Structure 1
Amino acid sequence: MSVLRELLESYLSTRRALGFKLTEPGRVLGEFVDFMDDAGETTIRHDLATRWAARFTRSTVLIRLNAVRQFAEHVAWFDPATEVPVLDGRPYVNHRPRPHIYTTEQIDSLLHAAGRLTPTVRAATWQTLLGLLAVTGLRISEARMLDDADITSDESGDGGWARITETKFGKSRIVPLHASTMAALMSYRRMRNEAFPTRSTKALFVTRRGSRIATSTAGSTFRQLRSLAGLTATVSEPAARLHDFRHSFATNTLIGHIRSGGNVEEMMPVLSAWLGHVSPASTYWYLSNTPELAAALGAQLPVIGGDDE
């Protein structure tokens, strides 16, 4: 069995364990791997994918290439030389960029980079903000819009809650906070209040001038931190994004749940509610098909049924 076919079997089993039948995509990808094996090719390239797809009718070309695109994104974790098929510089169909799943070391590097910002209050803001994103999976827009009044300590003194009201879909929710997270937020608030005794905003996180962080400011500052931490784009890896904290949280949460013996079907509604999604179906694409997730599913989960993509 070729390496590419082994990767195909791993890809299909992982996606099916997450609830997708993949009947038609599985058949299409089997034909593509047959083509690659017959050609003696081991690495997916744009020209090979388009050459294979060109043999079929116009109405099915995009469907077939989209199936190859999704498979290629999985293969790229194992073969960095993999090329994800594109047309005129744009991905086929409705393509979302492959997320960057942060390692603990990379998060530490970003926090260290944030600590180098000036003045001190700006460094503290970004260290605390990135830490919150990492442990909660909040959208950056939700974290930016948090006010002091949205953070509440638990009556027992063990942890607390964040009230999320400014959401993408207008769905308010409560996100539990660990005691260590609450301690970090309270420490930041004390330092922030010392820097700005008279405050002009109710915002939890503030800029160097004491105002709420704007969307453009968040983007430009993170690009600076990303560069300092060495997490810019490479030939085989996309540049890290703020939104990837959310992808990382979702993927790592599911991996931890599976490794502890948990059930995927039971976990998805919980994870969906935590992330503020409309339904569990919206949560599936957040789960990056990493080698770690594939290994966890392969070791502990039977294949379960679901809907085709």
Structure 2
Amino acid sequence: MLNDALIRYIELRRSLGFKLRSQYVLLRNFVEYATANGDDFIRAERVLNWAILAPSAPQRRNRLLTVRRFATASRMEDPRHELPAADAMGRSRFRRRLPYIYQPEDIERLIREASLLKPSGTLRPLMYSTLFGLLAATGMRVSEALSLRLDDVTSDGLLIRDTKFRKSRLLPLHETTRRALERCLLVRAGMSVSHDFLFICNSGTPLAYPTVVATFLKLVRSLGLRAGPGEPGPHIHDLRHTFAVRSLERCQREGEEVSRHTVALSTYLGHGHVTDTYWYLQATPILMQHIAEAGEIFYRGGDV
């Protein structure tokens, strides 16, 4: 019964345009936990017992609020579903997580470590090293990369279809990135599978988001960039932050050039508004130096 309620909830939310990838994984985990304990309906006490199994306070609160939204919708159909208190895990003011800006050598080590994944000589190391390299070189969303089809790799770049904000876009590629993709495509062409997804696992099925994230975390921990579960450290999404920051570092410093570059960057990243791009920017020594120099010019009466 709980599983049926989850299916209806996910279908409703996705019909409204929500993807709910990570939320679905969490909710499916909760439903399995609750069902194993004999529950046919959402019980507030069970939600709390499940939520506290998460390794960190933010993750525990996220678990609680994710199931609470599910419970709110389910109670509209059946009042026997209980609604856990929103502050049962304490109150928390939202704080922006400080993104990790990767150094070039970090990315090189990540790609090299991915190329050494086991079993050696199989698709796995090639697919993961190409995927992580593509994320770093383009700043695209993980979900966008995993949704790529063979026909999306064109002579003009990558065609990103109907992603977040219902926008499609074309991503021009650097020659080195294109060569890496071509090597991957050459191997992929020899695979006989029933679909045309670009990134696949050894069994021939498309790479799954949770598996990709788990593999990424395993790699960055082996490289010493991140500690154990629940500890802060680099996320896979920080590759997108890094792309945005490094791109801005390399643009011309004149005021109008910076403005035009930011608009182009926003379009490349697939943002609905240029203000969304500001979220991805983070102060670095190079950017702070640019700002200081611009401030000095302005102070002297020059045109920034």
Q: Scaled by the length of structure 1, what TM-score is found?
A: 0.62
Q: Residues 221 and 227 of structure 2 are in contact (CA less than 8 Å); yes or no, is this contact kept in structure 1?
A: no
The answer to whether structure 1 residue 125 and structure 2 residue 119 are counterparts is no
User: Which runs of structure 2 are paired with 1:270-309 in the superposition (5 Å)?
Assistant: 270-300=264-294
Which residue in 1 is equivalent to 2:146?
A: 144
Alignment CA distance shift 1:121-1:92 (3 Å): same
Contact 1:258–1:297 under 8 Å retained in 2: no
Q: Tell whether the 8 Å contact from 1:100 to 1:238 is kept in structure 2 after alignment.
A: no
Name the CA distance, whole Å, in 2 between partners of 1:275 and 1:233. Answer: 29
Shift of 1:261: 8.6
Match of 1:71 in 2: none
Percent of paired sites with the same residue: 38
Query: Which one of the candidate residues 197, 212, 221 is aligned to 1:218?
Result: 212
Q: Mark the CA change 1:91 to 1:262 in structure 2 (over 3 Å): closer, same or farther.
A: farther
Q: Which amino acid aligns with 1:102?
A: Y
1:167 pairs with 163, 168, 172, which one?
163
Structure 2 Cα separation of the partners of residues 293 and 286 of structure 1? 13
Q: Contact (CA 8 Å) 2:188, 2:198: kept in 1 or not?
A: no
Gap runs ≥5 in structure 1:
1-87, 154-159, 305-309
Other-structure match for 2:106: 106
- The Cα offsets for residues 82-103 of structure 1, whole Å up to 9 and x where unpaired, read as xxxxxx9989633221100010
Please, what is the CA RMSD of the aligned residues? Answer: 2.6
Structure 1 residues 58-103: Cα deviation after superposition (integer angstroms, max 9, x where no partner): xxxxxxxxxxxxxxxxxxxxxxxxxxxxxx9989633221100010
- Whether the 8 Å contact between 2:266 and 2:277 is mirrored in structure 1 is yes
Q: Which residue of 1 aligns with 2:173?
A: 177
Contact kept, 8 Å, 2:150 with 2:196, in 1: the verdict is yes
**Which blocks of at least 5 consecutive residues in structure 2 are unaligned?**
1-87, 300-304
Equivalents in 1 of 2:221, 2:233: separation in Å? 10
TM-score with structure 2 length normalisation? 0.62
CA distance in 2, matches of 1:108, 1:89: 40
Measure, in 2, the Cα distance between the counterparts of 1:249 and 1:260. 21
Shift of 1:144: 0.4
Cα offsets for 1:244-301 (capped at 9, x unmatched)? 1100000000011046997322221111111011111111010011222211222246
Residue equivalent to 1:254: 248
2:258 equivalent to 1:268: no
Counterparts in 2 of 1:303 and 1:111: CA distance versus 1, 3 Å: farther
Alpha-carbon distance in structure 2 between the residues aligned to 1:215 and 1:246: 16
Q: Secondary structure at the match of 1:162?
A: strand
Please give the alpha-carbon distance, in whole angstroms, between the structure 2 residues aligned to 1:182 and 1:231: 28
1:173/1:284 CA distance change after superposition, 3 Å: same
Distance across 2 between alignment mates of 1:101 and 1:90: 30
Query: 1:244 matched to which residue of 2?
Result: 238
